[in-house]
Amino acid sequence: MEKSLVVGIDIGAQSSKLGVVDAQGNILCQTVITSLQPTLTEYIDDLTAAVESLVSQVGGKEKIKGLGIGAPNANYYKGTIECAANLTWGRDSEGNGIYIDFAKIVSERLGLPVAMTNDANAAAIGEMTYGAARGMKNFIMITLGTGVGSGIVIDGKVVYGHDGFAGELGHTISIRDGRQCSCGLKGCLEAYTSAIGVARTAVEWLQKDDTPSLLREVPTDKISSKDVYDAAKKGDKLALEIFDFTANLLGEAFANFIAFSAPEAIILFGGLARSREFIEKPIIESMNKNVVSIWKDKVKVEFSQLKDSDAAILGASALGWEL
């Protein structure tokens, strides 16, 4: 029987999205599981059960060429997940990141070949094949979710670097000696411009003074980036200022990113990118204000044309065809 299908898996900090994909890029069936299991064993059990259920819907493993997986801190060369601080099962009992031979474990459980890459790289591949980056050979994908990830494409190829981890732009320093980041550094872009970072800004600013805001109606320990978005939609001054602050930091960072790869575009993807109406203009203004003059007004800022789940699944599935 011809192995005409692949499985794409996107592992996020909160949830994991899975789908079976054909050679034309059609997602034949898909599902979502939580990523918040306390142990690796429990997560693997849930993941493999979900894969087996999907595969049974399309005729069995005989049709599956392989699995492609996008995951935080995934090493393309080794098939490992290494020190993924945002995954509950990616840390030991003391909170230290661990090394997981993930592709091997999943392959042995399912009896299928597995390839892995960073989740942001997978999203970049999906966008390059099916979305806003179609036809582009040089672009940067920025994922704004629980964390801030990035996939760098130069001359049509994803940049992995010598160790498989190139593209951790979320952990470039945005504010020197700033907030503590989950990676162990201080002042990372991720600590300010991820969904969690936006919520942290809201809490800090609410505690700083008595500025009136709809956000004061939400318990401090429950504030999320969605609360900030909802308040901004209603014209809340503080919420709008939070988005301006966040967008300004992103624009400054993008100006730096442009200097090393001269991309045609920077494409935004992920939950926080849904706040486009509040962040697009200030990002572009900040980027062009801080970029070297030869690139001013030259690099586009685009937003993903694919649904979050589709881009990640399609990008990860592309790895399956290489097996």
Amino acid at 94: E
Residues 11 and 81 in one domain: yes
Residues 118 and 201 in one domain: no
Q: Domains in the chain: how many in total?
A: 2
Residue 130 within a domain: no
Distances (CA, A) of 262 to 122, 155, 228, 279: 21, 11, 33, 22
Q: DSSP assignment, residue 293?
A: G
Comparing 276 with 323, the larger pLDDT belongs to 276
> Mean pLDDT across the chain, nearest whole number?
94
Three-class SS of residue 267? Answer: strand
The residues near 11 (Cβ < 8 Å, ≥ 6 apart) are 35, 69, 70, 71, 72, 87, 119
pLDDT at 80: 96
Looking at residues 204-220, what average pLDDT do you find?
95
Looking at residues 54-80, what average pLDDT do you find?
95
- Residue matched to tokens 């079976």: 20
Task: Check pLDDT > 70 for residue 1.
Answer: no
Task: Check pLDDT > 70 for residue 135.
Answer: yes
Which residue range is the domain that position 152 belongs to?
Answer: 135-305
Distance (Å, rounded) from C-alpha 246 to C-alpha 192?
A: 7
pLDDT digits (tens, 9 = 90+) for 269-281: 988 999 999 999 9
Residues 149 and 240 in one domain: yes
pLDDT at 22: 94
pLDDT at 2: 74
Residues 118 and 156 in one domain: no
Confidence of residue 142 (pLDDT cuts 50, 70, 90): very high
Looking at residues 190-201, what average pLDDT do you find?
97
Residues 83 and 26 in one domain: yes
Pairing of strands 80-82, 99-100: antiparallel
Residues 144 and 191 in one domain: yes
Residues 197 and 113 in one domain: no
pLDDT at 3: 80
pLDDT digits (tens, 9 = 90+) for 12-39: 889 999 999 998 889 999 999 999 999 9
Residues 189 and 218 in one domain: yes
Whether 246 contacts 279, CB under 8 Å: yes
Task: Check pLDDT > 70 for residue 187.
Answer: yes
Taking the model in full, what pTM does it have? 0.86
CATH number of the domain bearing residue 35: 3.30.420.40
pLDDT at 91: 86
Residues 93 and 214 in one domain: no
Task: Check pLDDT > 80 for residue 282.
Answer: yes
Q: Which of 129-133, 144-148, 171-175 has the lowest mean pLDDT?
A: 129-133
Residues 168 and 194 in one domain: yes
Residues 146 and 13 in one domain: no
pLDDT at 250: 98
